[in-house]
Amino acid sequence: MMKYIISILIAFFALPLFAQQQKEARTVLDKTAATFEKAGGVKADFRIKVFSKGRQIVDSGGAIQLKGEKFLLKTPDVTTWFDGKTQWSYLDGSDEVNVSTPTAAELQSMNPYALLYLYQKGFSYRLGSTKVWLGKSVYEVILTATNKQQELTHIKLYIAKDSYQPMRIDAEMRDKTRSEITITSYQAGLNYTDNLFVFNKKQYPNAEIIDLR
């Protein structure tokens, strides 16, 4: 019984600290989202590793160009365009283009920056203990899904203190599959036309278009 009472007391006196951590984490997340929104056109190169059942199943690189919710994503296997509504995915090697209207969950799986906004609904958040990563001062922000049935359960962000730019994004699924995304280069303030985010049939004249909508 005494052990139970002590546990309750520890939890009670830790509440103000936890609330403060939540407030500080929210401030960091708000500033990160605002910085991204003000950045205009963005280009980021990244490295992604995926782990499942204790082994690494993906180690690949890619680049993403963004303008608001629109993006062009290039990886060694797939090029994906998203104009805010319609998505085109060109599969290298098969010469096929799949056309679809992606769900929010599907967009999160492809666009690392979509994860920056998850804290606004369905996640609790707090600051972690990591202060320096790759020699740079960072905020570590840990997000946990409030719905235990949600596929995406945990997110860890390393955010540069001087620029509020994400440097690393780790995500864990309910089946324990983990993704580690490291941003290797970042450019902001780029001028993109909307055509960049739409599939151009003239550039792929032999591609078979498969409409999945």
Name the least confident of 51-55, 149-153, 174-178: 149-153
Q: Is the predicted pLDDT of residue 132 greater than 90, yes or no?
A: yes
d(CA 124, CA 143): 6
Summary mean pLDDT of the chain? 81
Any idea where the domains of the chain sit in the sequence? 22-208
At 145 the pLDDT is 87
At 13 the pLDDT is 35
At 116 the pLDDT is 58
pTM: 0.76
pLDDT for 161-170, tens place per residue?
A: 999 888 998 8
Q: Is the predicted pLDDT of residue 3 greater than 60, yes or no?
A: no
d(CA 137, CA 199): 39
Q: Is the predicted pLDDT of residue 38 greater than 50, yes or no?
A: yes
CATH level 3 topology of 22-208: outer membrane lipoprotein receptor (LolB), chain A (2.50.20)
